[in-house]
Amino acid sequence: MSKIPSELKYVKSHEWVKKLPDGSVVIGITDHAQEALGDLVFVETPKVGRKLAAGEACAVVESVKAASDVYAPIAGEVIESNPTLADTPETINTDPYEGGWMWKLKPSNPAEIDGLLDAAGYEKSLAD
């Protein structure tokens, strides 16, 4: 059974979103996603300063098996990318919700966060 922390928000396409006290958000992919992808060997994160629309494909995770797009859960500007993933993409396999975070975003419209799935909603989307 994959882990779905209750304090995070989710989208059906298997990204998680965490609100930070300063109003920015951290984004990564879920435990379920990393499990399905298998051993990750390459990660490409969006450049700092890039403006993303909600649902835009903006990052790539490649496992031994295949390449997959990662989508922006909400609109905003990229303010930081996780620099450690270039050399240790496997961090996403071992620690998807902490060390394996992918990028930080300054939301264009913070209210968008509230429209995302909660843990129960995401868990239900996995069963569908």
Partner 1 sequence: MLKQTALHAEHIALGAKLVDFAGWDMPIQYSSQLDEHHAVRQTAGMFDVAHMSAVDLSGARVHEFLQHLLANDVAKLKLPGKALYSCMLDASGGVIDDLIVYCIEEQQFRLVVNAGTTDKDLAWLQGKSAAFGVTVKQRRDLGILAVQGPQAREKVCSLLPAELAERALALTPFSAAWAGDCFVGRTGYTGEDGFELILPHTDLVAIWKALLSAGVKPCGLGARDTLRLEAGMNLYGQDMDEGVSPLECGLAWTVAWTPEDRDFIGRKALEAQRAAPPRKTLGLVLEGRGVLRAHMPVRMAGGAAVGETTSGGFAPSLKGSIAFARVSGESVGPYEVEIRGQWLATRVVKPPFVRNGKVLV
Closest separation between CB of residue 83 and partner 1, Å? 14
**CA pair distance 28, 122, nearest whole angstrom:** 14
Those residues whose C-beta lies under 8 Å from the C-beta of residue 36, and which sit 6 or more positions away, are: none
DSSP 47: P
Closest separation between CB of residue 19 and partner 1, Å? 31
Nearer to partner 1, 36 or 119 (CB): 36
Those residues whose C-beta lies under 8 Å from the C-beta of residue 39, and which sit 6 or more positions away, are: 63, 64, 90, 93
Binding site for partner 1 (CB under 8 A): 38-39, 41-42, 60, 62, 64-67, 86
Nearer to partner 1, 66 or 127 (CB): 66
Closest separation between CB of residue 39 and partner 1, Å? 4
